[in-house]
Amino acid sequence: MWGYCCGNDADQSKDMQNIILYDYHNSRAATCVVDYIDGYDGYLQVDGYTAYGKTEAILTGGMAHAR
């Protein structure tokens, strides 16, 4: 299960809706995420899984994995 979300946490922002998408694949292969976000070059907050490094996105880590 691949999970994607976007939006703005600020209550006053009505410009962008918060979206959560669950994309099921019977695989954990890098092609699942690479194919879905093909061409996206913005920020992507991820865990340490190496599949995200194969995308064009700028990777940022979450605090859960900070040491």
Amino acid in position 6: C
Token reading at 46: 């991820």
Q: Residue 19: pLDDT above 90?
A: no
Which positions ≥6 away from 28 have C-beta within 8 Å? 51
Residue 23 pLDDT: 92
Q: DSSP per residue over 3-44, as a string?
A: EEEE----TT--SS--EEEEE--S---HHHHHHHTTT--SEE
Domain ranges of the chain: 2-65
Residue 66 pLDDT: 67
pLDDT digits (tens, 9 = 90+) for 57-66: 999 887 776 6
